[in-house]
Structure 1
Amino acid sequence: MTAEESLLTIRSDGIYHGLPVFPENVGGLTAIITGANGISGTHMSPEQIARQLKEGDIKADYVFFFAYIQPSPAPGRSIWSAAEELVKVNKSLLSNFLQGLAGANAVPKRILLQLGAKYYGVHLGPTTIPQEESDARVLLEPNFYYDQEDYLKRFCEEHHCAWNTTRPSWVSGAAPDAAMNLVYPLAVYGAIQKHLNRPLVYPGDLKSWENLHVLSTATLNCYLAEWAVLTEVAANKSFNAGDDSPFSWGKFWPKFANYLGIAYAGPQIDTAGLVEEHSGQSTLPRGWGPVGTIRYRFKLADWAKRPEVSAAWKEIAEESNLQNKTLGDVDRVFGFIDAAILNSWPTSYSNTELRKNGFFGFVDSTESIFKVVEEFVGLDMLPGYFLG
């Protein structure tokens, strides 16, 4: 083996493949993880955080920052429309925590911050593709990811520790708080349609049906985060975090209907009867061309407010003794799946930077969705018939 060659060993773990194998001497390490349980917590000052860390004698080799606050949008506005409020609450969420670490003399070796696809401006309209970590920032409106990333880099420089950021796309994972979750509202839609003996109707048009996406399974994101902080050549770098499994609703929808044991209806081809909306920016993230357009016959956030839908879920929840007895916070919960389904421009992540640095993990996105559905059943958030 030449000086320019290296040998990497990979493994599989269930549905996850191409995972790194670490040297045997890597062990006995500790980590602080924020936002891991998906449950809303209390906004704390740096002094409060430092005091709790000191009282618990909490220090760690690594920090993984996954915490996030999603402000409720104004009525009739998109889920991410409160851009300035997103910056305000999420920058202070990170800065308070990092200042608390410093105040407790608990600065770790490496801090990993999870960002997301909004880094590329995909919520504002079509972007250049594939999306690469080196792409220029999209400055059409405030973006809390940029503020968080800049603060993290300054903090790490001042306190002599390394950093990483990751950028997942549409995340599939099971957590008690269903906001910003791809799978839960989708599964609720399927459960209610099954309960009402109705087909799984696709709400969008042909373009969104055929549009290619990158999904980001939460478990694979964690494998990537672990690899990033333990890999020296990955220090002080940002990485896309995707399943590496091209996904379209057109391929998934029939499989999901079959999984549920119900019929399905595909996209409405005739656009004359569809509602049409345009991205709200005259200037696009890609810098040129027509605005982004979505077309739909209905939105799931509106569907979830129908009286027969609410009544059906109440019956399902009572029969299966589920945690969520009613469909609450529907604009926040179902607004996310609406954005994922109806979006007509692609998320197309480049994996080049990951491959160059030695990460080869991937998962079949469809398999991961069904696995996450089963995990939601285990959390008593979905009825047991999803298990077959």
Structure 2
Amino acid sequence: MSTQKSQYLVHSNGIYHGLPVFPDTLQGLTAIVTGANGISGTYMIRALCENPKRWTKIYALSRREPWRQYPPQVEHVSMDLLQSPSTIAQQLSEKKIKADHVFFFAYIQPSPVAGGTIWSAADEMVRVNKSLLGNFLQGLAGAAAIPQRISLQLGSKYYGLHLGPAAVPQEESAPRVGIEANFYYEQEELLGDFCNKYSCQFVTTRPSYLLGAVPDAAMNLVYPLMVYAVVQKHLGKPLVFPGDLACWENVFSFSSSMMNAYFTEWLALTDVESGDSFNSIDDSPFTWSMFWPKYAAYFNMPWEGPEHCTDEDYMEMSLPYAPPPRGWGPPGKRRFRYTLVAWAQRSVVQTAWREIAAEHGLRNSNLGDKNRIFGFADAAVLTAWPCVSTNTKIRETGFFGTVDSTQSILKMFDEYVEIKMAPRV
């Protein structure tokens, strides 16, 4: 499809609006989705499966067995991308796996360094995630299974937002941030070299905080928010916002996983320049101050904002980089009454969750890796500098998808109930 059209057909699907209408002649495509059990891979497969004539075969690659039943056109393949490229190539060849398009979402989140934030193990993040992609790409080459186009998901850490304030808004043309190792840059270079060598096209996306509902709760903003509300209500406590007024009013761009999948499919099937990169956002500015009352209303419980707090109510943490990613000014600071990681580590909270899980027959009777799950939420709830991505390049491709991020979160709460990760309260 050409991006030079002057008119585009769009449609709505539930809360998702402005979605592209593809021509009926676009049929018989095949895809590989890595990280198929994760938040992005799950919704990518869901989006592709909405059009079984367009996507007639989908290979879902993951280390673990699928957590849900796939439609007939989806074949799960158990594959560890930390294996050697030759082993991966052998598996691909034996199963005759070859696809028109690859959607790469595989990701490993290393444990943070002692006392550090969720993404503090930067060098280890580079090592392990570069290996995931590199092994898979060489496996494709070894199996003579080079696709037409590879879509690689990066993210808003590309702009260094996890390290402090960045230039606002975040534009795709922004220079790389060199104050700390960033695995996105390494993956981007690796993929570019591979595609140049094998005459394959590629495109990368940069979603912000992802909103979705999957059993693997890490790197997902919605699950810790739901747990927080459910436990606070169980304990008879209000829904307290743990950050300060700056966090309360800070503006974000979020990325609903379903909308992210729709956009990723669009890029795969649209004539964008190989090697280009695009922000992938809901196009729905978000603040905690506007969300929190609706959040509390969903759970029918009282809430408490930061309006009446004083400086004495807060702890403060300064990030290590001065200047921060934007290149000037003091380092980023976070002020909070408590972190959600610290909250989740309280014995009363863990006991409450075990009681809730037993009463409602939930999948998980414990809160899992609290640093990974609740550290991700802390990164959003306790950030006091704007995380706002531009959507100009998205629109220039002819994609007009939009979703209200608050509606998306509330919908994901419902989906978590459906998959027995949380109760309906």
TM band (smaller chain): over 0.9
Equivalences for residues 324-339 of structure 1 within 5 A: 324-339=364-379
2:346 to 306, 325, 331: 306
1:239 to 258, 278, 281: 278
- Alpha-carbon deviation of 1:331? 1.0
User: Distance between the aligned counterparts of 1:50 and 1:175, measured in 2?
Assistant: 29
| Contact 2:322-2:328 at 8 Å conserved across structures | no
Q: Deviations over 1:21-56 (max 9, x none)?
A: 111111110100001212765322111111111111
Instruction: Identify the residue that residue 423 of structure 2 maps to in structure 1.
Output: 383
Instruction: Identify the residue that residue 97 of structure 2 maps to in structure 1.
Output: 58
* Equivalent AA in structure 2 for residue 108 of structure 1: P
Instruction: Identify the residue that residue 255 of structure 2 maps to in structure 1.
Output: 216
* Equivalent AA in structure 1 for residue 364 of structure 2: N
User: Distance between the aligned counterparts of 1:307 and 1:347, measured in 2?
Assistant: 33
Q: Larger deviation: 135-144 or 232-241?
A: 232-241
Instruction: Identify the residue that residue 177 of structure 1 maps to in structure 2.
Output: 216
Instruction: Identify the residue that residue 355 of structure 1 maps to in structure 2.
Output: 395
Instruction: Identify the residue that residue 148 of structure 1 maps to in structure 2.
Output: 187
Instruction: Identify the residue that residue 191 of structure 1 maps to in structure 2.
Output: 230
User: Distance between the aligned counterparts of 2:402 and 2:171, measured in 1?
Assistant: 18
Q: Larger deviation: 33-42 or 63-72?
A: 33-42
1:95 to 109, 119, 134: 134
Instruction: Identify the residue that residue 321 of structure 1 maps to in structure 2.
Output: 361
2:146 to 107, 129, 133: 107
| Contact 2:31-2:102 at 8 Å conserved across structures | yes
User: Distance between the aligned counterparts of 2:27 and 2:398, measured in 1?
Assistant: 20
| Contact 1:91-1:148 at 8 Å conserved across structures | yes
Q: Deviations over 1:351-377 (max 9, x none)?
A: 111111111111000110011111111
Structure 2 CA distance for partners of 1:283 and 1:67, relative to 1, 3 Å: same
Instruction: Identify the residue that residue 199 of structure 2 maps to in structure 1.
Output: 160
TM-score, with length taken from structure 1? 0.96
- Alpha-carbon deviation of 1:382? 0.5
Instruction: Identify the residue that residue 45 of structure 2 maps to in structure 1.
Output: none
* Equivalent AA in structure 1 for residue 372 of structure 2: R
Runs of 4+ in 1 over 6 A off after TM superposition: none
Equivalent pairs, count: 383
Instruction: Identify the residue that residue 176 of structure 2 maps to in structure 1.
Output: 137
| Contact 2:322-2:329 at 8 Å conserved across structures | no
Is 1:124 aligned to 2:163, yes or no? yes
Q: Larger deviation: 366-375 or 265-274?
A: 265-274
Instruction: Identify the residue that residue 14 of structure 1 maps to in structure 2.
Output: 14
User: Distance between the aligned counterparts of 1:336 and 1:315, measured in 2?
Assistant: 24
| Contact 2:32-2:103 at 8 Å conserved across structures | yes
- Alpha-carbon deviation of 1:284? 1.2
* Equivalent AA in structure 2 for residue 145 of structure 1: Y
Instruction: Identify the residue that residue 335 of structure 2 maps to in structure 1.
Output: 295
Q: Larger deviation: 31-40 or 107-116?
A: 31-40
- Alpha-carbon deviation of 1:234? 4.8
Structure 2 CA distance for partners of 1:341 and 1:80, relative to 1, 3 Å: same
Instruction: Identify the residue that residue 118 of structure 2 maps to in structure 1.
Output: 79
| Contact 1:129-1:348 at 8 Å conserved across structures | yes
Instruction: Identify the residue that residue 37 of structure 1 maps to in structure 2.
Output: 37
1:263 to 302, 305, 308: 302
Instruction: Identify the residue that residue 342 of structure 1 maps to in structure 2.
Output: 382
Q: Deviations over 1:3-38 (max 9, x none)?
A: x76211111111101111111111110100001212
* Equivalent AA in structure 2 for residue 22 of structure 1: F
User: Distance between the aligned counterparts of 1:71 and 1:233, measured in 2?
Assistant: 33
User: Distance between the aligned counterparts of 2:162 and 2:178, measured in 1?
Assistant: 13
TM-score, with length taken from structure 2? 0.88
For 1:31, what is the secondary structure of its paired residue? Answer: strand
Structure 2 CA distance for partners of 1:116 and 1:181, relative to 1, 3 Å: same
* Equivalent AA in structure 1 for residue 357 of structure 2: A
User: Distance between the aligned counterparts of 1:131 and 1:329, measured in 2?
Assistant: 31
* Equivalent AA in structure 2 for residue 255 of structure 1: K
| Contact 1:228-1:235 at 8 Å conserved across structures | no
* Equivalent AA in structure 2 for residue 302 of structure 1: A
Q: Larger deviation: 264-273 or 6-15?
A: 264-273
Instruction: Identify the residue that residue 284 of structure 1 maps to in structure 2.
Output: 324
User: Distance between the aligned counterparts of 1:371 and 1:71, measured in 2?
Assistant: 29
For 2:32, what is the secondary structure of its paired residue? Answer: strand
User: Distance between the aligned counterparts of 1:113 and 1:375, measured in 2?
Assistant: 26
2:411 to 371, 374, 377: 371
User: Distance between the aligned counterparts of 2:339 and 2:311, measured in 1?
Assistant: 15
Q: Deviations over 1:80-132 (max 9, x none)?
A: 00000000000000000010011101110000000011100000100001101
* Equivalent AA in structure 1 for residue 147 of structure 2: P
Structure 2 CA distance for partners of 1:158 and 1:5, relative to 1, 3 Å: closer
User: Distance between the aligned counterparts of 1:253 and 1:110, measured in 2?
Assistant: 41
User: Distance between the aligned counterparts of 2:148 and 2:370, measured in 1?
Assistant: 40
| Contact 1:173-1:218 at 8 Å conserved across structures | yes
| Contact 1:234-1:357 at 8 Å conserved across structures | no
Between the aligned residues of both structures, percent identity stands at 56
Give unpaired runs (5+ residues) of structure 1: none
